[in-house]
Amino acid sequence: MIFSFFLLFYLYKLKIELFKKNFIELLENHETSITSSKEFNQSLRLFQEKLESLKLLSKQNSKLLELFDISNDYFEDGIIFLDNKGIIQRFNRKIITFFDKEYFEIDSYKKITDLTSNIDFIDFFEKSKTKKINTINIQTNFPQKNFHLRSINLDEIIVVFIKDISDIISLDKTRREFFANTSHEIKTPVTSIKLNVQALKNSLKSDNKDDFLYFLEKIDLDADRLQKITEDIGQLHSLESGSIKLSPEELRIDEFMSGFLLNFETLLSSKRMKIKISKNNFKKIKIDSNLFFTLLENIISNSIRYSKEDSNIEIDMKKNKSLFSISIKDEGVGVSQIDLPHIFERFYRGDGLRSDQHNGLGLAIVKHIVDLHKGTIEASSEINEGLKIMINFPQ
C-alpha cells in the first residue's frame, strides 16, 4: 500500500518533468516567426492545451505531496527519496527516529552520510544508484537494532524503504532458544530413565532386590522431573500466549496461607526447616487465587531446594489501600550479582551453586503471573546469604 502510493507519487513527478522538457522543446521549435493568423491560432491552442495538462499534473502532484505530509506521522516504515546523484530529496519522520536525529535539524540532512556513518547503510545507498531493485538486512550495534532495506530505482528518483525488524529477529532468536532449551531439558531425564531401565533389567537377571528397588526409585524421580518440565512449559506457554485469563477475587489471606503451607509440611520437615510469616493488620487481598498459589509454590520450592538444613524462610506481607506487598527471603546459597538480573528469564542457568537441579522455568512463570496482575517484582541476593524476592500487587 505504502509502496504503491509513493511509486504513483514519483511517477507523476517524473511525468511532470518529462512534460516540462517537451514543452520547452515545443517553445524552442516555435521561435520562428508565425506567418498567418491560422498558424498563430493553432500554436496558441496547442500551448493552451499543454498548459492545462501541466496545471492538472501539477495539481495532482500537489495533492500527493499534501497527502504525504498529512500521513507523515503514520508510516511504520522509514522512507527516503534521493535523486540519481544520491542527494536526499525528502524523507518521513520515521527516518529521524531510526537514525536518532533531531527533527529541528531536518534541513541539514542532504546526504545519507548526514544521517548515518554506518558503512553498510552507505554501501547500500551507493549500490542502489545502479540497481533497479536492491534489498539487504543490516544490524547496527549502538544501539543494537536490525533493519530491512529495500530500494526502487526509478531512474530520476530512488525510493528507499527502511523497516525496523529488531522485534522479529528477537522473537525468532527466542523461539530457537526455547526449542533448543526444551529439547535439552527433556533429553536429560529421558536419557537417565533409559539408563536406569537397563540397570533395572540387569538387577532382575542377578536377582538383586536392593538394586532393583534403587533403580526403580530413580526412574520414578526422573519421571516426576519430566512431568514437572512438561507442566511448566505448558503453563509458561499459556501465560505468554494470553490464554490464561486473570480472575481476581477477595481472598482471606490467613486461611489461604494455612492451606498453602500444608503442601510443604513433609518437604520442610525432611530438612528441619521452618516458614515464618509476618504481616500487618489486614484480612483480605484482591488477587487470582490459583495463580497466587502457583507463584508462591514456585518461589517456596526454590527456597527449600537451595537452603541448608535447620534454616528459615521468612514471608513478610503488608497491605494499604492501593498495594499488597509480599517478600520471601531464604537462607540459601544465594545468587551472584552477575546472575541476579537474569533469574526471571526462562531456562536461565547461572554458573553459581543454584545452577543445577532445576529447569529454569519456575521464576519465569512467577514473573509472568506478576505481570498479568500489573504488579512489580525484584530480587536481591549475595552468595551464601540467601535470596529475597519482593513483589507488589495493585489493589
Angle at 300 between CA 299 and CA 303, to 5 degrees: 90
Q: Which residue has the higher pLDDT, 223 or 20?
A: 223
The CATH number assigned to the domain holding 360 equals 3.30.565.10
Final residue of a domain: which of 188, 217, 241?
241
**Spatial separation of the C-alpha atoms in residues 228 and 225, rounded to whole Å:** 5
Whether 322 shows a pLDDT value over 60: the answer reads yes
Question: What is residue 8's predicted lDDT score, i.e. its pLDDT?
Answer: 52
Domain identity same for 269 and 221: no
- Segment 220-238 mean pLDDT: 83
Same domain, 258 and 237: no
143 vs 344 pLDDT, higher one: 344
Asked if 363 and 340 sit in the same domain, the reply is: yes
Q: If DSSP codes are grouped into helix, strand and coil, which group holds residue 274?
A: strand
- Average pLDDT, rounded, for the chain: 81
Residue with cell 498453602: 260
* Window from 18-32, 176-190, 269-283 with minimum mean pLDDT: 18-32
Q: For position 205, which CATH number holds? A: 1.10.287.130
pTM of the predicted model, to two decimals? 0.57
39 shares its domain with 114: yes
Query: In terms of Cα–Cα distance, which of 162, 152, 120 is closest to 138?
Result: 120
SS3 129: coil
pLDDT class of 32 with cuts at 50, 70, 90: very low
Domain end (from 167, 186, 205):
167
Q: Are residues 34 and 158 in the same domain?
A: yes
- Identify which has the larger pLDDT, 289 or 142: 289
Asked if 128 and 186 sit in the same domain, the reply is no
Q: Are residues 82 and 184 in the same domain?
A: no
* Predicted confidence band of residue 34 (pLDDT cuts 50, 70, 90): very low
pLDDT score at 107: 78
Q: Are residues 325 and 278 both part of a single domain?
A: yes
**Are 231 and 347 in the same domain?**
no
Q: Are residues 27 and 136 in the same domain?
A: yes
Return the amino acid letter for 217: E
The CATH number linked to 84 is: 3.30.450.20
Question: 248 preceded by cis ω (within 30°)?
Answer: no
Domain of 338? 249-394
141 and 18 co-located in one domain? yes
- How far is Cα 312 from Cα 323, in angstroms, rounded to an integer? 26
Tell me the average pLDDT across 335-350: 84
Cα four-point dihedral sign 176, 178, 183, 185:
positive
**What CA–CA distance (Å, rounded) separates 372 from 239?**
8
Asked whether residue 163 falls in the same domain as residue 194, the answer is no
How high is the pLDDT of residue 192?
Answer: 85
Q: Is the Cβ–Cβ distance between 363 and 344 less than 8 Å?
A: yes
Q: Contact at 8 Å (CB) between 243 and 369?
A: no
Q: pLDDT band at 91, cuts 50/70/90? A: confident
**Considering its fold, how many domains does the chain have in total?**
3
Q: What is the pLDDT of residues 249-276, one digit of tens each?
A: 999 999 999 999 998 998 899 899 999 9
- Please identify, among 241, 259, 290, the residue that sits at the C-terminal boundary of a domain: 241
Task: Determine the Cα–Cα distance for residues 334 and 148; give it in Å rounded to an integer.
Answer: 43
- Of residues 125 and 63, more confidently modeled: 125
188-225, pLDDT tens digit by residue? 788 888 888 988 888 888 888 888 888 888 888 888 87
The predicted model gives 306-312 an average pLDDT of 92
Residues 277/352, Cβ–Cβ less than 8 Å: no
For the chain, give me the number of helices (H) and strands (E)?
11, 12
Query: How many Å apart are CA 297 and CA 225, to the nearest integer?
Result: 16
Q: Which region among 115-119, 221-225, 289-293, 300-304 has the lowest average model confidence (pLDDT)?
A: 221-225
308 or 50: whose pLDDT is higher?
A: 308
Give the lowest-confidence range in 91-105, 154-168, 243-257, 308-322.
91-105
- For 43-52, 55-64, 82-91, 240-249, which range has the lowest pLDDT when averaged over its residues? 55-64
